[in-house]
Amino acid sequence: MITFVGLPPHPFEWLGSRFRTVLTEPSFRRLRWAILVGLVVRLVLAPLTSWSTDTTGFAQGDLSFVFQGSPYLGGTLFNPPLSAFLQLPLVTLLLLVYSPQQLITYAPGLLPSTAAIGPGFISPWVASPLMLVAIKLPLIAADVGTTLGLVWLARRSGRPELAPWLGIAFFLNPLAIWVSSVHAEPDGLAALLVVLLIVALAYGRGFLAGALLGLATFAKAYPLVLLPLAVAVLISARRSSAESVGRPIRRLAEFALGLVLVSAIFLPYLAFIPAVVGRPTVVSDFGGLSIFVMYNSGSPALGGFTHAWRSVIPGLVLLQVLELIAVGTAIVVAAGVGWRIRRSDIASSAGLLPMLSVASLATVTGLLLAYPAPQPENLLAIVPLGLASSLSLGRVSSRLTWIVSLSAFALYMVFGTPLEGFTPFILLLGPGPTAVANSVFVTYGHGGYGAPPGYFWFVPGIIAGAALLVVWFIAFRHSLPSDWRVGVSRAIGRLVRR
């Protein structure tokens, strides 16, 4: 029995039984050890590390939320608001014991680095270890949820032997650890909600799918590009031969209702978008959604690169071309999946799970390809989708996922000295280590930015971009109906021979 919202009638009992399975079954022994190790690593990093000015800015946004009713009034948070909502309870509890000045402290010892590199990269304002733990715990919990979601997805897809390995591959992924436990970006929240969205769509839970898509979009905006795919699946899939013709329409109406109700909660907080998009440098990304991105001209060496493009192609025209890539990919994949489901007439939930994973991977990768200057954390979007797609694409998908993960992690390491991430810990050690860190930061900055100039910065990006292209092609090809797939392969073969 399933309730209207798409949940079991006793959801906590249902979740409890799934947790007991992971905790007691011998086949999950390695997964249990991996989760334990991953949690220890995350909980050690959480209070001791942060990422440049971003992490402290997120903490300042949470304080703004408590005292002013919005996380955006301080101008330090440009992610969607879901992460601030989830961090609010723990931050409020801290404020019952500590003052705001104790949670975000001024560190004059960092002023030499701030003066040399600039306040946009290293700031003398640093979140305290307790504040860092408070804002990172919901993100760490999301990583655990994504891990268990991948395990459950593999078991329901008829590949139980892969279930523990998919969970391990995500939870011990260095990019996933860095994004949640060091940078404190909400990409892990979006990853969890997209995995749950795939499950809801496969089981035809319209209202739940709409609510999850709304939550995912307000965690990190890229999941909105999955809207055409969700609509295509809900309209096309028949659950049984006895299902009425009007049932897909009802599922779509439930989906719209769930999406609207969740969006209504967060929309009042998005009055900041016009100001963000209208900034003179147009650097903001609102979570990586291409429609809000022109050029991240602040990235090392990228400013000159994008200015060269602007001299050849007007910025607005190039932006429209990039948006067409993202939107076109979403529509083509959705149409292909809908047509394939229609041809099968009746779609089983177990059969839809791998196909939806592949289609989601293709759609999200298309959006990332349309993003002129991807930040490393944005590439976390395809990690769980790439792993889930290995259920149907095989080892090639999981290997490419690791290539992209390690490339994005390398971008983190090159973009700023790894020592900078441990700024809170260095400050706790005293003035001597802080002076050494200042020397490293200034030397590494090379006159104005926390990364070496020139093309070295692009090496991990080129690797990740090439891997994204390959992942996109494989996923797109496998999401097509079988006869279309053969036609695509033949067409490419003719082009190669020419």
For the stretch 287-298, pLDDT in tens is 333 333 333 333
Q: Is 346 helix (H, G, I), strand (E, B) or coil?
A: coil
For the chain, give every domain's residue range.
Answer: 11-48+128-416+454-497
At 74 the pLDDT is 76
pLDDT value for 41: 94
Predicted confidence at residue 369, as pLDDT, reads 73
- How many angstroms separate the CA atoms of 113 and 362, rounded? 42
Band of pLDDT at residue 368, cut at 50, 70 and 90:
confident
pLDDT for residue 272:
54
Report the pLDDT averaged over residues 458-465: 62
Range with top average pLDDT, 163-167, 326-330, 444-448? 163-167
Q: What is the mean pLDDT of the chain?
A: 76
Q: Which of 484, 442, 354 minimizes the C-alpha distance to 116?
A: 442
User: How confident is the model at residue 394, as a pLDDT?
Assistant: 78
205-230: pLDDT as tens digits: 899 999 999 999 899 888 888 999 99
Q: What backbone phi and psi angles, to 5 degrees, belong to 98?
A: -120, 155
pLDDT of the residue at 253: 92
For residues 52 and 419, give the distance between their C-alpha atoms in angstroms, rounded to a whole number.
11
CA dist 177 and 174 (Å) reads: 5
Q: What is the mean pLDDT of residues 93-112?
A: 90
Q: Are 123 and 114 in contact (CB under 8 A)?
A: yes
Residue 63 CA to chain centroid, in angstroms? 24
Token output for 282: 């147009």
Q: Which tops the pLDDT comparison, 492 or 379?
A: 379
End-to-end CA distance of the chain: 57
pTM of the model: 0.84
- DSSP-assigned letters across all residues of 96-154: TTS-HHHHEEE-GGGHHHHHHH-TTTS-SEEE-HHHHHHHHHHHHHHHHHHHHHHHHHH
**CB within 8 A of 155, min separation 6: which ones?**
163
Q: What is the pLDDT of residues 265-305, one digit of tens each?
A: 988 876 655 544 444 333 333 333 333 333 333 333 333 33
Q: Which residue has the higher pLDDT, 36 or 470?
A: 36
Task: Provide the β-strand partners of residue 400.
Answer: none
pLDDT, residue 31, reads: 87
Looking at residue 103, what is its pLDDT?
94
Q: Two tokens at 309?
A: 């493009």
Give SS3 for 220: coil
Q: Is the pLDDT of residue 446 over 80?
A: no
Q: What per-residue confidence (pLDDT) applies to 486?
A: 52
Q: What are phi and psi of 10, to 5 degrees?
A: -125, 75
Confidence of residue 143 (pLDDT cuts 50, 70, 90): very high
Q: Would the pLDDT of 141 be above 80?
A: yes
pLDDT higher than 60, residue 490: no
Of the candidates 368, 370, 377, which has an alpha carbon nearest to the alpha carbon of residue 408? 377
Distance CA 410, CA 36 (A): 25
